[in-house]
Amino acid sequence: MSISNEISNTPTISLQKKIKNWLRMLMPMAFILPALIFYLVFTIWPIIGTFRLSLFTWDGVSSVMQFVGLKNYATLLSDPLFWESFGHNMIWIVAMVLIPVSLGLIFAWLLSLPGIRGISFFRVTYFMPVVISLVAVGIVWNWIYDPTFGVLDSTLRFFGLNFLALPWLGDPQTVLGAIIVAASWTYYGFCMVIFLSAMQGLDPSYFEAAKLEGCKTWQSFIYITIPLLKNIITLVVLNSLIASFKVFDIVYIMTNGGPFHSSEVIGTYMYSAAFSNSQVGYGSAISIFLALVIVIISVVYMRFAERE
C-alpha cells in the first residue's frame, strides 16, 4: 500500500469508527427507549399534570379552571380531616410493619426448620390470601365482622364471651384495628415467601457452628437469622411502608372511611375530595403531598437502614 493510498483511506476509517461508536452508544438507548417513553407518558407526565391541577380550583367539568397557586396546599395543612386521615395512615404503617412482617418472619422461620412435613402445603396455604383480590377480601371480612351473623361475633357468643362480641366495623374505637387485621391477613404470606426464599440462601455453616456451640434454635433465629436477613427485612419494611401510605381499596370496600371518618386514610380522603366532591385541585394537592411524604420517608429509611 502506497503512502498516498494510506493518507486517502484515513478519513474513511475514522468515519467508520465514529459511526461504530455512535451505534454502540445508541444501541442501549434504543433498548431503553420504549420503557423510558412508557415511564414518561404514564408516570412522569401524570405527576406533572397532577401537580399542575393542584394549583387550580376545578370541579372536573367546567371549562374554566381558576388558578389559586399554593392555596390548595395551605388548605390541606389546616384541614383537620386530612390530618386525622394522615394519623390513621401512621397507625396503619406501624401496624403493617409490626404484624404481617413479624408474622411472615416467624412463619418463614418455622417452615425452614428441619423436620417440618408438608412445607409446600403450608407455604401455599399461607400465601393464598396474597393472590385474592382485595375487593373480595374486603367483602369476606365484612361478613366475618357482621354483628348479627358474622362468624367472629357468633363464635364469641357461642363461648359465652358476649362482652367481646363488638360491632367491629361500626365502632370508631375498633374499626381501624379490624381493617388492619384483614389487611395483615392478605400481606403476611407475601412477607413469609420473601423471607423463606432468603433463608434458603443462608450459609448453613453458621447454624452448624452455632449448634456445636450449644446454641438453641430460637437463639440462632434471633442472633444469626435475623441479622443475616437485614437487607431483606429492610426491603420488606420499605415495601410495607409505601403500601401503607397508598392504602385505599380495602378501606374503601370495608368502610369507605367510616363511621364518621374513623377509618379514613389519605387514599380514601383524596378519592372523595377529587371524585366525589369534585374538588379536583384539592384532591391533586393531597396526592402530591402524599407522594412527597412517601419519597422523603423512603429516602430517610433507606439511609438509616444503610448506615445501620
Partner 1 sequence: MKKTKTTIAIVLGSSTLLLGLQVLGASGFQGAQKHTTPSIKIKLWDQFTAPADAKVMQTIINNFEKLHPNISITRTAMQDQSMQEVIKPALMSGQGPDLFAYDTGPGYLGVLAKDGQLLNITSYAKANGWYQRFPQWILHTTSINGQLYGLGNEVQALGVYYNKAIFSKYHLAVPKTYGQFLHVAQVLKDHHMVALEVMDKDQWPGFHLESAFYTAIAGRQAVQNVIDLKTKAGWNQPIFAQALNDLRQLVVKGYTNPSPLAVSYDNGNNAFIAGKAAMDLTGSWMVTELYQKMGNKVGFFPLPPKNPSQPDIAPGGLGGAMLISKHTKNPAAVESFLNYMLSNQTSSIWLNDNMIPPNKSAAKAHIKDANPLFKQVVNVIDNPAGMSYSLDVLMPQQVNDVTQNDIQEVLAGTISGQQAVADKENALKQAIASGAYY
What's the min distance (Å) between Cβ of 96 and partner 1? 23
CB of 29 to partner 1, least distance (A): 13
* Minimum distance, C-beta of residue 148 to partner 1, in the bound complex (Å): 6
Cβ proximity to partner 1: between 126 and 252 the closer is 252
Q: Which is nearer to partner 1, 100 or 150 (CB)?
A: 150
**118/172 with CB nearer partner 1:** 172
The smaller minimum CB distance to partner 1, of residues 189 and 257, is found at: 257
Query: Which residues contact partner 1 by CB under 8 A?
Result: 20, 23, 27, 59-63, 142, 145-149, 167-172, 255-256, 258-261, 272, 275-278
Q: How far is the CB of 175 from partner 1 (least distance, A)?
A: 9
Smallest gap, in angstroms, from Cβ of residue 38 to partner 1?
17
Of 167 and 242, CB closest to partner 1: 167
Query: How far is Cα 180 from Cα 177, in angstroms, rounded to an integer?
Result: 5
* Alpha carbon distance 9, 171 (integer Å): 87
Q: Which is nearer to partner 1, 244 or 255 (CB)?
A: 255
Whole-number Å distance between alpha carbons of 48 and 69? 15
- 145-149 — which CB contacts under 8 Å span 24+ positions? 145/169, 145/178
* CB nearer partner 1, residue 76 or residue 198: 76
Nearest approach in angstroms of CB 206 to partner 1 is 47
Contact 126, 196 (CB under 8 A): no
CB of residue 267 vs partner 1: minimum separation in angstroms?
15
* Complex with partner 1: residue 7 or 29, whichever CB lies closer: 29
At residue 33, φ and ψ (nearest 5 deg) are -50, -50
The burial of 202, by beta-carbon neighbours within 10 Å (0-12 exposed, 13-18 middle, 19 or more buried), is given as middle
Name the strand (E) or helix (H) holding 66: strand 66-67
Among 114, 104, 297, smallest CA distance to 191 is for 104
Q: How far is the CB of 126 from partner 1 (least distance, A)?
A: 29
User: Is the distance from CB of 96 to CB of 104 less than 8 angstroms?
Assistant: no
Which H or E run includes 106? helix 80-112
Q: Provide the 10 A C-beta neighbour count for residue 193.
A: 18
Element (H, E) at 57: strand 56-57
Phi, psi of 66 (to 5 degrees): -95, 120
- Asked if 60 and 54 touch (Cβ cutoff 8 Å), the reply is no
